[in-house]
Amino acid sequence: METRLFPSIAYDNAKEALAYYEEVFGATAIHRLSPTAEQAVQMGIPESTDLDTVTVHATFNILGVEIQAGDSFGADTSATEKISLMISVNSEDPESMTAADAFYERLTESNEVTIVLPYEDQFWGGKLGQFKDKYGINWMLHAQPWSQF
């Protein structure tokens, strides 16, 4: 069986969130889809709405992990403490470790995230850090030898 899991996050304004992740997280491969006028009518979006500000679907990558996003269209966008998005890198790959270390440094220097747990060595032999973005989303950065899985 082949399956994949893609986190999908709803924002009050996904276009703004994508700009945040690009600036603060260094997000890449950003793709954003706005509705056509016909689709907006079908979705009940008021005619006066600037459709360039509306995001029906978007994707972006952080350290090679694809995340999907879109506007909430009025649904509750409150973050929960029940879920964290963990990005795991192979600590046996020097390129991955360099990228993870640079990513964490970028976050801390941005002053745009709250560091919950500094990214450092842990008792199990891996490296882990936890932080919260400006939308209240919990993230973890994890590095461990993938050969141990």
For residue 120, what pLDDT is reported?
Answer: 97
For residue 110, report the phi and psi dihedrals to the nearest 5 degrees: -70, -25
pLDDT at 39 over 90: yes
CA pair distance 4, 31, nearest whole angstrom: 19
pLDDT at 125 over 90: no
User: Taking a C-beta distance cutoff of 8 angstroms, is the pair 6, 68 a contact?
Assistant: yes
Asked whether this chain's domains 8-71 and 84-148 adopt the same fold, the reply is yes
For residue 131, what pLDDT is reported?
Answer: 98
pLDDT at 57 over 90: yes
Q: Is the pTM higher than 0.75?
A: yes
User: Taking a C-beta distance cutoff of 8 angstroms, is the pair 59, 66 a contact?
Assistant: yes
Q: The tokens of 112 are what?
A: 């745009």
Q: The tokens of 7 are what?
A: 């986190």
Burial-class residue 112 by CB neighbours within 10 Å (0-12, 13-18, 19+): middle
Q: Which CATH number applies to 84-148?
A: 3.10.180.10
CATH of 8-71, one of 3.90.1150.10, 3.40.190.10, 3.40.50.970, 3.10.180.10: 3.10.180.10
For residue 74, what pLDDT is reported?
Answer: 87
